[in-house]
């Protein structure tokens, strides 16, 4: 009897061990399946998104526009066709030019010599009365009928042309390069003073009609 009982006990123990081994395997398979299903459901782990960088723009305060400045008056420029017209003048207390005189051409215009400048200059003129440079300050312009003044620079120097206003002061009009000429709108009784590049007076001319002045190097 005792021998049969021992065999039965050993058999039951072996079966119990086998049972628990099977149960353990089943649990392992179930656990693995649940893990796989969870991963498939949740999807692969992705990288944690980083926040997009923010861009800040500097703010600029409005700047005040510069205040308008007064531009200087333009300076006269040489012209071959026409020069600037003299501004309005008041009549001087005493006239000096013959008004309404006819042009004196055709005739041989008088020739004068101007000692000023790097080289002596000569000039011819027609339709005007000529005064010496020593009269500057006492010769004044009148404002009468319109006429034209043509000045030809046949010298090797730069010639500057001045208008003498109603008080006898010089008003710069234009510069005439060597070999060039200008035509200026003027008036009967107006006084003009051509000068060298150093502003030395060549002569003073009061217009009696449409006039022409030619300046050239002294021979």
Average pLDDT of 50-69?
51
The position carrying tokens 């000023």 is: 116
Asked if 196 and 202 touch (Cβ cutoff 8 Å), the reply is yes
User: Is this model's pTM higher than 0.75 or not?
Assistant: no
Is the peptide bond prior to 6 cis by the omega test (within 30 degrees of 0)?
no
Q: What is the pLDDT of residues 197-212, one digit of tens each?
A: 999 999 999 999 999 9
The position carrying tokens 């339709």 is: 127
- Structure confidence at residue 21 (pLDDT): 78
Q: What is the pLDDT of residues 156-183, one digit of tens each?
A: 999 999 999 989 999 999 999 999 999 9
- Structure confidence at residue 93 (pLDDT): 34
Residue 111, sorted as left (phi over 0), alpha (psi -120 to 50) or beta, turns out to be beta
Containing 121, the helix (H) or strand (E) segment is strand 121-131
């Amino acid at each position: 009897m005792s021998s049969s009982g021992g065999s039965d006990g050993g058999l039951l123990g072996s079966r119990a061990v086998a049972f628990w081994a099977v149960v353990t395997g089943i649990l392992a398979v179930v656990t693995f399946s649940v893990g796989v299903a969870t991963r498939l459901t949740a999807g692969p782990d992705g990288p944690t998104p980083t926040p997009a960088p923010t861009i800040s723009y500097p703010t600029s305060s409005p700047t005040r526009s510069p205040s308008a400045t007064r531009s200087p008056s333009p300076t006269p420029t040489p012209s071959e066709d026409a020069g600037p017209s003299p501004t309005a003048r008041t009549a001087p207390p005493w006239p000096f030019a013959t008004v309404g005189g006819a042009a004196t051409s055709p005739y041989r215009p008088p020739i004068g010599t101007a000692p000023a400048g790097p080289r002596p200059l000569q000039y011819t003129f027609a339709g005007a009365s000529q005064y010496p440079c020593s009269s500057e300050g006492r010769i004044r312009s009148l404002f009468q009928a319109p006429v034209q003044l043509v000045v030809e620079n046949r010298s090797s120097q730069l010639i500057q042309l001045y208008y003498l206003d109603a008080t006898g002061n010089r008003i710069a009009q234009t510069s005439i390069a060597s070999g060039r000429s200008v035509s200026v709108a003027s008036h009967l009784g107006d006084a003009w003073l051509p000068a060298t590049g150093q502003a030395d007076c060549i002569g003073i001319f009061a217009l009696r009609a449409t006039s022409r002045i030619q300046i050239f190097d002294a021979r």
